[in-house]
């Protein structure tokens, strides 16, 4: 019985450690996701400003005469 309790306590301790490590990973990944979402939003705003600047997109421009 004593050995079984020690084994269970050991497993519980390992699971607590693993859970703590996983929590750190998830927290770090969420921070990265938040940062990437902010970057994407900024890029969207930048592209909207470029569209309204009056300049044609490169694929809309006529090729130069030497083509």
Question: How many angstroms separate the CA atoms of 46 and 44, rounded?
Answer: 5
Average pLDDT on 15-30 reads 98
pLDDT bracket for residue 50 (50, 70, 90): confident
Q: What is the pTM of this model?
A: 0.62
Query: How many residues are there in the chain?
Result: 67
Question: How many angstroms separate the CA atoms of 24 and 18, rounded?
Answer: 10
Question: How many angstroms separate the CA atoms of 35 and 39, rounded?
Answer: 6
């Amino acid at each position: 019985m004593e050995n079984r309790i020690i084994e269970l306590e050991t497993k519980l301790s390992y699971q607590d450690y693993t859970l703590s490590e996983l929590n750190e990973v998830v927290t770090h990944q969420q921070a990265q996701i938040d940062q990437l979402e902010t970057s994407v939003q900024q890029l969207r705003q930048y592209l909207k400003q470029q569209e309204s600047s009056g300049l044609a997109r490169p694929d809309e421009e006529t090729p130069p005469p030497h083509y």
